[in-house]
């Protein structure tokens, strides 16, 4: 039920517009590392000072306008220049739909090629984020095409997909981030039960740790983290073959603890005004995340907005059930 609520909220255009309007006034500064490049570089430097590297996401997705896609490309190029100029420990994460995948494949590929080329010149890695299932195959195609020219690209494997093991084996020679998955997918293609998703996360993580190039273990679940810490120790997997990842603003104490223990740690650092859908999907992915950031994120205004929307969603569910009963 909670997952459905947050997925519904993530697609609410009114709330998305309100989030853009109020921005950091709504408490987004706890989960978003700034609205501009200057602010995100400052956040990266702070994390670097604790021995934490960063992957930077210029927030935005599902773009259907070439002008908007080109603007996103230019912003990402500027981020790469800033990373190089300030000599910070950071790389890039990006979403193909923000760069025009829904407009035209070749248009998106050209935008990506320009980004990857500049990053390659500076020795900066580019991670191609995975989105929903409808974009899975073309995103793999983008990775395949770019890999013909560059070796500084990798992608994400989502453990809720039934075929995750097949994907992880196909791309074993790439730097891969393993996540659970944050989009609403059908039972035909994705696990629906948390225990199944967690079990598959561990399974593909173990496989890639033993056979892959480099593994980014992206989870806030301390039970999975502790299990995989024991796994790498028992299997003598060197530190330079993996890292743990978490989102900016989530489980800060655990992030610092892992870094202080000598593990490679990377924080996923989003920035920009288009943060709302991103944040709602994080809550849908793992509703417990709400508890992790509630005190530091939600002021009264945010609680009101989310509460009203959640109430409307639940009311709609109840009304639909009542209507179906009457029809019966």
- Joined tokens for residue 283: 């809550």
Long-range residue pairs from 9-14, CB within 8 A, at least 24 positions apart, any chain: 9/280, 9/306, 9/309, 9/310, 9/313, 10/276, 10/277, 10/280, 10/281, 10/284, 11/277, 12/309
Residue carrying the six token digits 């009542």:
322
Asked about 129 being catalytic, the answer comes back as: yes
For the record, the structure tokens of 22 come out as 């109020």
The sign of the CA dihedral 226, 230, 233, 236 is negative
**CB-based burial label for 291 (10 Å; 0-12, 13-18, 19+):** exposed
Tokens of residue 209, six digits: 């740790």
Q: Which of 129, 251, 274, 282 is catalytic?
A: 129
- Identify whether 281 is a catalytic site residue: no
CB neighbours of 324 closer than 8 A, spacing ≥ 6? none
Q: How far apart are CA 274 and CA 19, in angstroms?
A: 8
- How is 102-154 classified by DSSP, letter by letter? TT-HHHHHHHHHHHHHHHHHTT--EEE----GGGHHHHHHHHHHHHTT-SSEE
Q: Out of 175, 177, 251, 282, which one is annotated catalytic?
A: 177
Q: Which residues are catalytic?
A: 129, 177
């Amino acid at each position: 039920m909670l997952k459905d609520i947050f997925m519904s909220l993530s697609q609410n255009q009114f709330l998305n517009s309100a989030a853009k309007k109020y921005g950091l006034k709504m408490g987004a500064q706890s989960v978003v590392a700034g609205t501009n490049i200057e602010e995100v570089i400052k956040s990266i430097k702070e994390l670097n000072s604790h021995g934490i590297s960063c992957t930077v996401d210029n927030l935005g997705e599902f773009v259907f306008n070439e002008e908007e896609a080109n603007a996103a490309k230019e912003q990402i190029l500027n981020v790469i220049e800033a990373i190089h100029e300030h000599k910070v420990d950071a790389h890039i994460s990006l979403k193909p739909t923000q760069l025009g995948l829904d407009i035209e494949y070749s248009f998106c590929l050209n935008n990506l090629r320009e980004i990857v080329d500049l990053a390659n010149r500076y020795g900066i890695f580019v991670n191609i984020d995975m989105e929903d299932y409808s974009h899975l195959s073309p995103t793999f195609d983008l990775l395949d095409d770019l890999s013909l020219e560059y070796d500084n690209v990798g992608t994400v494997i989502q453990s809720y997909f039934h075929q995750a093991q097949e994907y992880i084996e196909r791309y074993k020679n790439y730097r891969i981030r393993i996540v659970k998955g944050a989009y609403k997918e059908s039972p035909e293609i994705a696990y629906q039960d948390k225990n199944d998703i967690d079990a598959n996360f561990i399974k593909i993580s173990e496989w890639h740790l033993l056979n892959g190039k480099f593994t980014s273990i992206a989870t806030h679940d301390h039970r999975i983290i502790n299990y995989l810490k024991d796994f790498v120790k028992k299997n003598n997997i060197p530190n330079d073959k993996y890292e743990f990842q978490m989102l900016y603003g989530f489980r800060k104490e655990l992030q610092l603890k892992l870094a202080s223990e000598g593990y490679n740690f990377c924080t996923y650092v989003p920035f920009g005004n288009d943060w709302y859908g991103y944040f709602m999907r994080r809550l849908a992915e793992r509703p417990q995340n709400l508890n992790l950031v509630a005190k530091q994120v939600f002021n009264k205004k945010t609680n009101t907005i989310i509460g009203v929307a959640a109430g409307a969603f639940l009311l709609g569910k109840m009304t639909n059930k009542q209507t179906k009963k009457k029809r019966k």
